[in-house]
Amino acid sequence: MSYKTKVRYITVAVAAALSLSVMSTANAASVNINNASFESGFSHWSDTDPSAISGDAHSGKKSAKITGSHGMFQQKVTVQRNQNYELTAYIQGDGEVGVIVNGHHYAGTSSSHHDYKKVTVPFNSGSANNITVFGAYHNDEGRFDDFSITEVSTSTAPQHSTQQPSQQKTTPSSQHAHHNTHSQQQQLLLIQSAMDDGSNDGHSPKNTIDGDTSGDSRWSSEGVGKSITYDLGQQEQVQKVAIKWFKGDSRSSYFHIDTSTDNHHWTPVLEGGMSSGDNSGYENVDVDDSNARYVRITGEGNSDSSEWNSIVETKIYGVETHAVSAPQQHVDNSIAASLLTPANTIKQASHNHVQQTHQSQPAQHASHSVAAGNAQYPSDLMGNYKQWKITFPTGAEQKQLYHVTNEYFHVNDQGNGIVFKAPIRHNNGTTPNTHNIRSELRERTVDGSSDIFWTTEGTHVVYSKQAITHLPIVKNELVATQIHGDKTAGIDDAMVMRLEGQHLFLSFNGGKLHHDVTIENNYKLGTEQEVIFKVVDGKHYVYYSEDGNLQQAYENGNADKYLVKDGANDYVMNRSYKDAYFKIGNYTQSNAKSEGDYTDNPKDYGEVVVYDFWASHE
């Protein structure tokens, strides 16, 4: 793309009643969906309660009904590779329908409380021969009927985009953008993580890749030159960016886009960008083709004469340069990568000695390892196993931990660490107020007689020596170590250490209490880490190290060099609350719906190995 100016890219977003009149479906082949109208109940469909069969149908005598937030149904179907398709279905009430293609969701929603409403979702199959068709809960009860998938003529339908141009512009630049073709197949690229410099207003970068297209789930940062950076996890050929702007139908946003292979040296691929100002959906922006791992969007204010830069969702399209069967996570190159293990586990038995190569805190990194042990049960490695209880990925809670061991909670091969594993399966359970799964300890009183709750007055410390060893395939996010607070006061996950891809950071109830604070941007799975959370009269301090010396330095009173700082302060948050407690282990930030086709895959799980931990209160 050689012509660069402020171009208005006019698009129409995927919506519940998207008609897509530019797509020709005449004489198009149909994909076989078994029992597409539910006349045989849920035969051929896998359903999750609360779900039922209803007698109120669009056609025939039956339909599917979803009545609660966890309800859904899905079916795998066979498609042709690299083919454009339309999914259509009918919804009465509220609901979401869509497809999952190589872990990517394409969906449409409806809110029609009287008559059935047709919902159309366009998608491209990419490299997939099998996809998942689904219907799910969306805001309120809904009925679903008459699913179909039809091939769409490639002569009139753009490749691999869920947005369609509503009109062709007559400027040279927009003609170039519309007609630009590529010799290789373009597809949606997997974004591993999103980050900024921490100066957002509490609407964090991760909101732009969470699939939530509501205005409350956005990134916002004030100031010309404020940027958001996306990490693809590895180098890909980037060709197009689709952006859903906040207030996109009432103001234009000004921006430019750069790409990089190393997050340090940047190449401009779009200069003088400007959104349409009359589109609430995604707007496609064609950029100069580039091989890149990082994509940075830099804001230059908006037409409201303010300097706010706000993005609701971002998608990046291009050509995958690594031929794999599933989204690949970046791991240490010394670990052999199998095509069947896109999120590689670093086995402690063979990789207990981990080379430290991170760049964010070079003075604190050194090669080290935990000595082998002879523990048989997790309780053998716990100073006081009565002081903790555990919640498993099934949703079950276990209060008595003496000699308890199972696939979710066991000792590693070297007998020196507790493995907290959370496999993502269709029959996972969960705890109230979350859809995600965990294998995680929750603090109790010293004698184990009851759950403990403390206030932020006084001094409260938790220490953990651990390694995050595996992330889910699609939504590769995990929390390891957290302080939970009074949910009724809006505290909830008061402070957690969270890994998204390779971005390790502190989160404060999802940005509601304080902006995210980055620990490092290049965490490698299996790296042993020490972390201390310390609360002193409301001030929250965090110490972090990967050199193995943090606990000794803390006990000697000279651990200040390990402090994670937010600006000039030694503490990262100053806030008082009650009903607090520590949690240790693995809170995997994904579930069966997020993982789609990879659910039940034996390689789809989150895992943390904990070698030592303790908590104290004064």
pLDDT at 153 over 60: yes
Per-residue pLDDT of 409-442, as tens digits, reads 999 999 999 999 999 999 887 766 788 999 999 9
Is 259 exposed, middle or buried, given 0-12, 13-18 or 19+ CB atoms closer than 10 A? buried
Short-list 243, 170, 214, CA closest to 256: 243
Mean pLDDT for the chain overall: 81
Given this model, what pLDDT does residue 349 score? 27
* Per-residue model confidence as pLDDT tens digits over 92-134: 999 889 988 765 667 888 876 678 999 998 888 887 788 989 9
Closest CA to 41 of 32, 50, 29, 54: 54
Q: How far apart are CA 115 and CA 90, in angstroms?
A: 9
Rounded Cα distance, 398 and 372, in Å: 27
User: Considering only CA atoms, which of 501, 486, 230, 519 is closest in space to residue 360?
Assistant: 519
Domains and CATH numbers, the chain: 30-151 (2.60.120.260), 164-319 (2.60.120.260), 348-617 (2.60.120.200)
Average pLDDT over residues 438-449: 92
Residue spans of alpha helices (H) in 320-457:
348-351
Residue 359: pLDDT band (50, 70, 90) is: very low
How is residue 583 written in tokens?
Answer: 């949690």
Q: What average pLDDT score do residues 218-223 get?
A: 94
List 493's β-bridge partners, or say none: 484
d(CA 256, CA 273) in angstroms, rounded, equals: 5
How confident is the model at residue 599, as a pLDDT?
A: 92
Question: Distances from the Cα of 440 to the Cαs of 369, 399, 451, in angstroms?
Answer: 24, 12, 14
Residue 141, token pair as written in the block: 């009860």
Q: Which of 12-26, 360-374, 410-424, 515-529 has the lowest mean pLDDT?
A: 12-26
d(CA 604, CA 614): 29
- What's the CA gap between 521 and 505, in Å, rounded? 8
- Residue-level pLDDT at 207: 92
3 pLDDT higher than 80: no
Dihedral angle, C-alpha 498, 425, 126, 107, nearest 10 °: -80
Lowest mean pLDDT among 65-74, 219-228, 250-259, 595-604: 65-74
What are the φ/ψ torsions at residue 596 (nearest 5 degrees)? Answer: 55, -125
> Which tens digits make up the pLDDT trace of 544-601?
999 999 999 998 999 999 999 998 899 999 999 999 999 999 999 999 999 999 999 9
Q: What confidence score (pLDDT) does residue 256 get?
A: 93
**Unique residue bearing structure tokens 């946003």:** 253
Give the pLDDT confidence score for residue 345 in this predicted structure: 29
* Cα angle 300, 301, 305; round to 5: 140
What confidence tier does 60 reach under pLDDT thresholds 50, 70, 90? Answer: very high
pLDDT given for residue 11 in this prediction: 29
Q: Which amino acid is at 552?
A: Q
What's the predicted TM-score (pTM) here?
Answer: 0.46
What percent of the chain has a predicted confidence (pLDDT) above 70? 81
CA dist 610 and 612 (Å) reads 6
pLDDT digits (tens, 9 = 90+) for 169-220: 222 223 233 333 344 567 888 898 999 988 899 999 999 998 888 889 999 9
Sign for the pseudo-dihedral over CA of 585, 560, 551, 582: negative
pLDDT score for 299: 93
Q: Tell me the two tokens of residue 317.
A: 């399209």
**Is the pLDDT score of 333 beyond 60?**
no
